[in-house]
Structure 1
Amino acid sequence: MPCYRCGARQTDPVRGASPWLRGVSDGGQVLICPDCQGAADLRLDACETCGSTRLICRLGEVECRDCGAERPAARSTTSGVLAPATPPGLSAEVEAALNRVLGRN
């Protein structure tokens, strides 16, 4: 999953904690690269209880990492499963990578 703000791709991390942060935007999980973390226009969802933006989205719920408050995720399909946000051009990148690995021209 790329950085939702600039589109940078996450590379294999070195040992230890990842410098990338997780957040929630419009009810869906997003990643924030180290370069974008200080930006003022991140537009992340905030906890309705404490105002924190340290939220994670899992199993159709958004949970605040600071106070533990939970709420349903906003972005959903008719089946109730979260609809993944697909970055533009991702399918073309995957196809190109498969062609390289499989030796297709």
Structure 2
Amino acid sequence: MPCYRCGARQTDPIRGASPWKRAVRKERQILVCPECQTIDGWTADLDHCTTCRSSALVCRLGEIECRDCGHVRTAERTGDTLVPSGAPGLSEEVEAALSRVLRRRAAPT
């Protein structure tokens, strides 16, 4: 899953806690890369807990849970996936990578 703001994809994890943050936006789980977390007000367009107003939410199995106060509610929105505009989806990235590899192998040496 890419960063919802810039479209960057996570690389192989390094030991320790990930610098990427999970959050909920429009009732969908998203990831925020470390660079986008440095932007002032980066939590403003995230969903917030209806009880404590925290943006530390996780979405799983149709429920949204606040990691700060523990409040759980049912997610109302289903269906579409959030992908940053202009950012290629994973299938497009895989297709491009396969095209590059197959062209190199198909060329006479």
Q: TM-score band, normalised by the shorter chain?
A: 0.7 to 0.9
| TM-score after normalising by structure 2 | 0.79
Q: CA deviation at 1:92?
A: 1.7
What is the aligned counterpart of 1:62 among 53, 61, 64?
A: 64
Bigger radius of gyration, 1 or 2?
2
Residue number in structure 2 paired with 1:25: 25
- Whichever residue aligns with residue 67 of structure 2, its letter is R
Q: For the Cα contact (< 8 Å) 1:20–1:33, is it kept in 2?
A: yes
Q: For the Cα contact (< 8 Å) 2:24–2:58, is it kept in 1?
A: yes
* Residue 16 to residue 41, structure 1, CA distance change in 2 (3 Å): closer
The 3-state SS of whatever aligns with 1:37 is helix
Unaligned runs of 5+ in 1: 78-82
The 3-state SS of whatever aligns with 1:94 is helix
**Equivalent-residue separation in structure 2 for 1:34 and 1:67 (angstroms):** 24
What percent of counterpart residues are identical? 58
Structure 1 consecutive aligned stretches of length 4 or more whose deviation exceeds 6 Å: none
Q: CA deviation at 1:74?
A: 3.0
Q: For the Cα contact (< 8 Å) 2:27–2:64, is it kept in 1?
A: yes
Residue number in structure 2 paired with 1:104: 102
1:54-77 Cα deviation digits (max 9, x unpaired): 000110111000011111123214
RMSD: 1.7
Unaligned runs of 5+ in 2: 104-109
Q: For the Cα contact (< 8 Å) 1:3–1:9, is it kept in 2?
A: yes
Structure having the larger proportion of residues in helix: 2
Residue number in structure 2 paired with 1:80: none
Q: Which has the higher contact order (CA 8 A, sep 6+)?
A: 2
